[in-house]
Structure 1
Amino acid sequence: MTNQPNRRQARHTTARLRAVLTAILVIALCANCAQIPVTSEIHSQDLSVSDPGNIYFGAPGPLQDASPREIVNGFISAQAAGLTDNFTVAREYLTVAAARSWDPNTDTTVYQGDIDLGYIDSSAPEEPAIVPEIDLEGAIRIDVVASAKSLGTVDVQGTYTESLADARLEASFELLRNSQGQWRISGLRDGLVMSHTLFQNNYRAVPLYFLSPNAQFLVPDTRWVVSALAESQALRALIEGPSPWLRDSVRTAVPDGTRLVSAVRTGANVTVNLSRNVLNANPSERANLAAQVQTTLKRIPGVNTVTIQAESIDMNITYNDSIMRDPNRATGNASDPYVLHDDILMRLRGRELEPVTEIAPFTGYDVTALAIPESVVAGVFRNGLSEIRRLPLAANMSPAIGTPGTGDADGESADTPENESEDAGSASNDNDPTDGESGEATTPETSQEPTVTSVILSGNALIAPSVDRFTWVWSGEQRQSLETGELMLSSSYGTLQTTVVVPWLAGREVHSLRVSPDGTRVAVVSSANGIAHIEVAGIVRDAMNAPLSLGDPVTVGGQITGANAVAWQDESTLWVIGHTANNEAESLFGVSISGPSEVIAPAENTHTLTAARGPRAVILGSDQGVIRTRGSSGASWSEESLDAWFPTYPG
Structure 2
Amino acid sequence: MPDSGEAQPVKGSNQGDSQVRVYAVAPRENADPDEIVDGFLEAMTSDDPGFATARKYLTKQAAQTWKPEQSITVLTTAPNRDQADRNADPENQGRAYPLSGRKIATVDARHAYQPISPANYLQTIHVVQQPSGNGKGGKEWRIDSLPPGLVLGEADFLRNYRSVNKYYFASGEDWVVADPVYIRQRQDPVTRMDPVTQTVKALLEGPTNWLKPAVDSSFPSGTELKKGVTTLTTDDQSTLKVPLNAKADQVGGQPCRRMAAQLLFTLGDLTSVRVEQVELQKASGQPLCRLGKGQAAEFAAVRNTDGDESPYFVDEQHKLMTLDVGDKGANAPTEVPGPLGKGPTRLRSVAVDRGETRAAGVGETGRDLFVSSITTEQELPPAILSSKAAKPTDRLSAPSWDGRGDLWVADRDPAAPQLWMVPDGIGTPVKVRTPWLEDDARIESLRVSADGVRIALVVTRDGDTTLQIGRVQRQTSGEEPVVSVLDLQPAAPRMESVTAVSWAGPSRLVVVGREAGGVQQIRYLQTDGSTSATAVLPGLNGVTSVAAPHEDTAPVVADSGNDGIVRLAPGANWQPVVKTGTSPVYPG
TM-score by length of 1: 0.75
RMSD: 3.3
Cα pair 1:388 1:458 within 8 Å, conserved: yes
SS of the residue corresponding to residue 354 of structure 1 reads strand
Q: Which structure 2 residues correspond to residues 43-442 of structure 1 after superposition, within 5 A?
A: 57-81=22-46, 83-113=47-77, 115-121=79-85, 140-164=93-117, 166-179=118-131, 180-226=138-184, 227-228=186-187, 229=193, 230-261=195-226, 262-266=229-233, 270-300=240-270, 301-304=272-275, 305-319=277-291, 320-325=295-300, 327=302, 334-349=309-324, 350-360=330-340, 365=345, 367-375=347-355, 378-384=358-364, 386-391=366-371, 397-398=377-378
Distance 1:42 1:582, change over 3 A: farther
- Match in the other structure for 2:387: 458
SS of the residue corresponding to residue 167 of structure 1 reads strand
Is it true that 1:577 corresponds to 2:535 in the alignment?
Answer: no
SS of the residue corresponding to residue 436 of structure 2 reads helix
- Match in the other structure for 1:649: 586
C-alpha distance in structure 1 between counterparts of 2:98 and 2:385, whole Å: 59
Cα pair 1:339 1:346 within 8 Å, conserved: yes
The amino acid across from 1:167 in the alignment is A
C-alpha distance in structure 1 between counterparts of 2:25 and 2:427, whole Å: 70
SS of the residue corresponding to residue 204 of structure 1 reads strand
Distance 1:374 1:271, change over 3 A: closer
Cα pair 2:476 2:482 within 8 Å, conserved: no
Is it true that 1:488 corresponds to 2:420 in the alignment?
Answer: yes
The amino acid across from 2:555 in the alignment is A
Q: CA offsets per residue over residues 411-431 of structure 1, 9 Å max, x none?
A: xxxxxxxxxxxxxxxxxxxx7
Number of aligned residue pairs: 539
C-alpha distance in structure 2 between counterparts of 1:167 and 1:115, whole Å: 13
The amino acid across from 2:524 in the alignment is G
C-alpha distance in structure 1 between counterparts of 2:430 and 2:361, whole Å: 18
The amino acid across from 1:551 in the alignment is L
In the TM superposition, residue 453 of structure 1 has moved relative to its aligned partner by 4.5
Look at both structures and tell me which one has the larger radius of gyration over its CA atoms. Answer: 1
C-alpha distance in structure 2 between counterparts of 1:249 and 1:456, whole Å: 27
Distance 1:217 1:586, change over 3 A: same
2:575 aligns with one of 638, 641, 650? 638
Distance 1:633 1:238, change over 3 A: closer
In the TM superposition, residue 522 of structure 1 has moved relative to its aligned partner by 1.1
Q: Which structure 2 residues correspond to residues 494-509 of structure 1 after superposition, within 5 A?
A: 494-507=426-439, 508-509=441-442
The amino acid across from 1:242 in the alignment is P
Cα pair 2:84 2:96 within 8 Å, conserved: yes
Q: CA offsets per residue over residues 161-220 of structure 1, 9 Å max, x none?
A: 2342x3344331111122333221111121101233332332222211111235532211
Q: CA offsets per residue over residues 552-594 of structure 1, 9 Å max, x none?
A: 23332222121121110111100111110130x2211211123
2:564 aligns with one of 620, 626, 629? 626
Cα pair 1:557 1:592 within 8 Å, conserved: no
C-alpha distance in structure 2 between counterparts of 1:516 and 1:329, whole Å: 15
Is it true that 1:600 corresponds to 2:537 in the alignment?
Answer: yes
The amino acid across from 2:586 in the alignment is Y
C-alpha distance in structure 1 between counterparts of 2:488 and 2:209, whole Å: 9
In the TM superposition, residue 75 of structure 1 has moved relative to its aligned partner by 0.3
SS of the residue corresponding to residue 62 of structure 2 reads helix
Q: CA offsets per residue over residues 597-636 of structure 1, 9 Å max, x none?
A: 64323343222222212345321114557011115645x4
The amino acid across from 2:556 in the alignment is V
C-alpha distance in structure 1 between counterparts of 2:381 and 2:244, whole Å: 59
C-alpha distance in structure 1 between counterparts of 2:381 and 2:278, whole Å: 55
SS of the residue corresponding to residue 348 of structure 1 reads strand
Is it true that 1:40 corresponds to 2:13 in the alignment?
Answer: yes
Distance 1:392 1:624, change over 3 A: farther
Distance 1:532 1:68, change over 3 A: farther
SS of the residue corresponding to residue 471 of structure 1 reads coil
The amino acid across from 1:503 in the alignment is P
Cα pair 1:566 1:577 within 8 Å, conserved: yes
In the TM superposition, residue 284 of structure 1 has moved relative to its aligned partner by 0.8
Is it true that 1:537 corresponds to 2:470 in the alignment?
Answer: yes
Q: CA offsets per residue over residues 379-403 of structure 1, 9 Å max, x none?
A: 22222454232156699735xxxxx
2:493 aligns with one of 548, 558, 571? 558
Distance 1:390 1:71, change over 3 A: same
In the TM superposition, residue 464 of structure 1 has moved relative to its aligned partner by 1.9
The amino acid across from 2:141 in the alignment is W
Distance 1:61 1:105, change over 3 A: same
SS of the residue corresponding to residue 589 of structure 1 reads strand
2:456 aligns with one of 505, 523, 526? 523
C-alpha distance in structure 2 between counterparts of 1:172 and 1:479, whole Å: 49
Higher mean C-alpha displacement, 357-366 vs 101-110: 357-366
Q: CA offsets per residue over residues 234-291 of structure 1, 9 Å max, x none?
A: 2232222112222232211101222222353246564322112213334110111111
- Match in the other structure for 1:49: none
The amino acid across from 2:506 in the alignment is E
TM-score by length of 2: 0.82
Cα pair 1:216 1:322 within 8 Å, conserved: no
Distance 1:396 1:187, change over 3 A: closer
C-alpha distance in structure 2 between counterparts of 1:393 and 1:265, whole Å: 49
In the TM superposition, residue 474 of structure 1 has moved relative to its aligned partner by 1.1
C-alpha distance in structure 2 between counterparts of 1:303 and 1:90, whole Å: 34
Q: What residue ranges of structure 1 are gaps of 5+ in the alignment?
A: 1-36, 45-51, 125-131, 399-430, 432-450
SS of the residue corresponding to residue 223 of structure 2 reads coil
Cα pair 1:510 1:526 within 8 Å, conserved: yes
- Match in the other structure for 2:4: none
Cα pair 1:379 1:391 within 8 Å, conserved: yes
Distance 1:121 1:613, change over 3 A: same
The amino acid across from 2:309 in the alignment is A
